[in-house]
Amino acid sequence: KICRRNMMRLIGTACLSICLIALVSYFSTSAPQVELVSAYSRAIRMIAEGHLLAKQGRYSDAAASFLKAKDLWKSSGKPGWQSAESLADAAVDRNPAALKDGMWMVKALTRSRRGQGRGSEDLTQKRPLPLDTPRPVKTHPPQVSSLASQSPPIVKEP
């Protein structure tokens, strides 16, 4: 009886510790991912706000917004945060052409990010090879035997 009781305690303790480890690992790995996505989303929103501020001529406010966005983007771990830094430089220089180029780059980066996630298709993989579809059968003219296709011998008359 004592051996069974100790064995049951040991099994119970092992099960509880496994459950505790599973819960801790689940929450420690899932929480940062949510934070990273929200930091990236906030960065994109701040870039849009900064762009509106720059259009209104409030370049210093736009530069501050772009720099905050750069920090958020960089902390998210996603690539492309340098484009937010370029936008901040363009706002400090009051360069509308550079701002336009920087916004184009951000839009291209976010478009490619959207293409990678959320179940949308990759455009390069849109047309798979139809290996399982029946292909049309080529019909050839009926083959004539080689003897029949030869012309009769030409006989020269003397």
- Closest Cα partner for 94 from 55, 65, 68, 67? 55
Angle, CA 123 vertex, CA 36 and CA 116 arms, to 5°: 10
Residues 92-108: tens digit of each pLDDT: 999 999 999 999 989 88
Half-sphere exposure of 105 (CA within 13 A, CB side): 15
Average pLDDT for 85-89: 91
* Residue 135 Rama label (left phi>0; alpha psi -120 to 50; beta): beta
Predicted local distance difference test score (pLDDT) of residue 40: 86
pTM: 0.51
**Mean pLDDT, rounded, of the chain:** 75
